[in-house]
Amino acid sequence: MGALNGVKILELARVAPAEFCTMLLADMGADVLKLETPPADGQAETPEEKRRAAFAYVNRNKRSLALNLKAPEAQAIFQTLATTADVVVEGFRPGVMKRLGGDYETIRKVNPRVIYCSLSGFGQNGPYKDYPAHDLNYLSLAGVLGLIGEPDRKPAIPLNLVADYGGASLHGALGIVLALFARERTGQGQQVDVAYLDATLSLLGATPNLRFFWSDGLAPRRGAGFLGGSYPYYAVYETKDRKLLSIACTEPWLWENFCKAIGRPEFARYSRVADQFVRAANPEEVRAREEVEAIIRTRTRDEWYEDLVTRDVCVGKVYDVEEVFEDPHIRARQMLVETEHPEIGKVKEVGIAIKLSGTPGAVRGAAPYRGEHTDQVLRELGMKPEEIRELRDRRVVA
């Protein structure tokens, strides 16, 4: 039995971070119903579209209802579903759900216990709330992007992992669980307002960069600081086979272990010290890093890794994606799973990161294609086949 068995969630996501938020809850047993926009041309999903949909990791363990919320009949269906929902999750700009007849104030009137999570770029208030933006823009405004990469180059773009998934998705899922917990005490629902920009700042606040800015007035800069990549103890090195190896020995004793392992114990003096919180490596430290690089180039990546892991050194192989899921530890932790799809066979995807001993999550099924459960859901609402057929003919549902 999953930790969230019996929790009913309506998802109006439109973007992957909001879908990932609800997938985390679906993995733990929640019944997540995706409300998706029917295709504009009214055509059914093609076999290729269905095949690709099954690999949409962020949509696994869910059902899909294709509902045109611009139609009054569809809005009525949504409100009926919302009367018995525990959670509504929407990923639109502020004001859109009100135009679609499904904003928090409207839904709370028919369901005072509802948890209504709004995931938006800038939140439900503030001067930027109506602006369009994506992950890169939130990173820019949060001061995160300017800190990533080498000092003499443009910032490196860290995929869309930070603001989208590490930020909005995880803060949204936690906010929902907290609101559900509060409802157990108060009996009342509430709105969960999560902004991508806020969540990004929250993540940055946990780093040494911001901590020492507030405490000592030390402003961090790109490529500087002990986590910026300029110091020999926290860097990425090229190996003999032109692959990459990461070394992350920020504690002096770990760096000393590394120095002994490469035959340069005297380099232990280049361990992390207090004044490196925001400054870049000085010329002597840069030369030490270059010497370490020359040593690392004498052996292959895997040779170094197999040696260094036995010497209590923080080391990692920089994998290509193809290599990740061959790693024995990844497999031992069940971070590669396979589900059986009734039409296309086995679907591979990433496993569940949160391991609960008593109420573990489960991958119960691959992601649905758009509208796969439309008839099923409408029948559950008491609609007759002819009523469903009429709604489909009028493109209210698909």
Distance CA 184, CA 263 (A): 60
Angle between helical axes of 208-216 and 196-205 (0-180°, round to 10): 70
Catalytic status, residue 134: yes
Please tell me the distance from the alpha carbon of residue 261 to that of residue 312, in angstroms, as a whole number: 10
Give strand pairing partners of 183. none
CA distance 5 to 149: 43
Residue 152 appears among annotated catalytic residues: no
Please identify which of the residues 164, 171, 193, 198 carries the catalytic annotation: 164
Could you give the C-alpha distances from 345 to 53, 340, 368, 370, 373, in angstroms and in order? 13, 5, 14, 19, 19
Strand-pair partners of 11? 34, 89
Q: Which residues are catalytic?
A: 134, 164
